[in-house]
Amino acid sequence: GAQGSQIIGGVAAAPHSWPYMASIQVDGQHVCGGFLVWPKWVMTAAHCLIPRRSPSVRVVLGAHRLEEPEPSQQVFSVSESIAHPRYDPRSVDNDIRLLRLNGSAVLNTRVKRIRLPPPRADLKPGTVCSVAGWGDTSNYGDLPSGLMETPTTVVKRSLCRTLLRGRVSANMLCAGSPNTTLQGVCAGDSGGPLVFKTKVYGIVSFSGERCGDRRHPDIYTKVSNYVGW
């Protein structure tokens, strides 16, 4: 599946209802989602190849509509970009990256950090989570004006392996549409958070061939395996 960034079949998120959400931008273009885990650290996917100390890279917190300079936005550059040492671009295993901001985020109602799950915590199949992003909203490349969100349901790993012909490691979570409506992520606003009960359990990693198609569930990096990292 392609690595891109789309939320399919979602709804507009209430402005600032995802206060930990980060927009990672290169030359003013949104390239990946991410989320604030500590005032100076944003977590994203390793396959978002964000260089450090590059004047063209910025991380925007507190945003809803990216094309407008909202007063709630806090903008940083990236002083360190650390991919997991065992990230494998071929299998997309260990698809997790930490970005150190060049300053500390000022936490307020519109900029908050999200808590990490307990180590090794797994989500049971059938658990309904939420995912959000600013990526395209259809298979045709329409960009939304504000943050979009959609529910998505955890799929059993064994079923996921069958549907995706292997390629699903124990470091991955699998989720997709529970029904026939197209829903989910299109390689899913890469780097964005999969959230259940105020904690982040997954990082959008990659999706199947068709956006939001339940026969091709989306793959998320399983955050609880990396809490010690």
Residues 37 and 96 in one domain: yes
Residue 74's H or E segment, with its range, is strand 74-76
Domain count, the chain: 2
For the full predicted model, state whether its pTM sits above 0.85: yes
Pair 201, 120 in one domain: yes
Domain that holds residue 42: 21-101
Active-site residue set:
47, 95, 190
> What φ, ψ does residue 79 adopt, rounded to 5°?
-90, -25
SS3 (DSSP) at 114: coil
Residue 142's CATH number: 2.40.10.10
Same domain, 127 and 210: yes
* The domain boundary residue, chosen from 101, 130, 146: 101
pLDDT digits (tens, 9 = 90+) for 69-98: 899 999 999 999 999 999 999 999 999 999
Q: Name the burial class of residue 81, with classes exposed (0-12), middle (13-18) and buried (19+) by CB atoms within 10 angstroms of its CB.
A: buried
Question: Which runs of consecutive H residues, i.e. helices, occur in the chain?
Answer: 157-163
Residue 107 in any domain: the answer is: no
Give the pLDDT confidence of 97-156 residue by residue, as tens digits.
999 999 999 999 999 999 999 999 999 999 999 999 887 555 555 555 789 888 888 999
